[in-house]
């Protein structure tokens, strides 16, 4: 690996390739690298992209809290970066990750637990861990 300063320059160059929206954000899909399970979708800003590439731990931008959101910082359910990809239009990121524990704040492995079956909303997975166990008093 090149020296740290050079890597930082490279990560900035990757961020320069991406198209952020008018709020300075880009959608990022997180996928479990080995099973292919789509875990969640969240948003990154430029700083989150550079931090994710630099640390190997996925960092988003929380729109509700208006600050960087290091996935797992409250819950311990970290996402370790396996591959950082982006699409033909450079306006969507796909992070392939190794998800520690569960990705969803409800305690489910992934966030996509509602399905329309015969036109009726159906819950297709259950929490693997309680919200209390996930966040304790930290929420």
- Asked if residue 91 belongs to a known ligand binding site, the reply is yes
Nearer to a copy of itself, 119 or 138 (CB): 119
CA-wise closest residue to 60 among 81, 77, 43: 43
- Asked if residue 104 belongs to a known ligand binding site, the reply is yes
- Asked if residue 47 belongs to a known ligand binding site, the reply is no
- The dihedrals phi and psi of 73, each to the nearest 5 degrees, come to -65, -30
- Asked if residue 59 belongs to a known ligand binding site, the reply is no
Nearer to a copy of itself, 121 or 137 (CB): 121
Nearer to a copy of itself, 78 or 92 (CB): 92
List of residues contacting a copy of itself (CB under 8 A): 1-2, 7, 10-11, 13-14, 17, 27, 29, 31, 35-38, 40-41, 53, 83-90, 92, 94, 104-106, 108, 111-116, 118-121, 124
> What residues are designated binding site for Mg(2+)?
87, 89, 91
> What residues are designated binding site for Zn(2+)?
88, 104, 111
> What residues are designated binding site?
87-89, 91, 104, 111
């Amino acid at each position: 690996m090149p020296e740290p300063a050079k890597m930082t320059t490279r990560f900035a160059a990757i961020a320069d390739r991406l198209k952020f929206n008018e709020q300075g954000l880009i959608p990022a899909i997180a996928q479990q690298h080995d099973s292919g399970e789509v875990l969640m979708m969240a948003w990154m800003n430029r700083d989150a992209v550079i931090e994710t590439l630099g640390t190997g731990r996925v960092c988003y931008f929380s729109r509700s809290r208006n600050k960087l959101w290091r996935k797992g910082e409250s819950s311990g359910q970290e996402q370790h970066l396996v591959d950082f990809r982006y699409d033909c239009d450079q306006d969507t990121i796909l992070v392939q990750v190794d998800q520690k524990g569960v990705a969803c704040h409800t305690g489910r492995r992934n966030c996509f637990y509602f399905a329309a079956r015969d036109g009726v909303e159906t819950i297709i997975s259950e929490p693997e861990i309680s919200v209390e166990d996930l966040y304790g008093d930290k929420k």
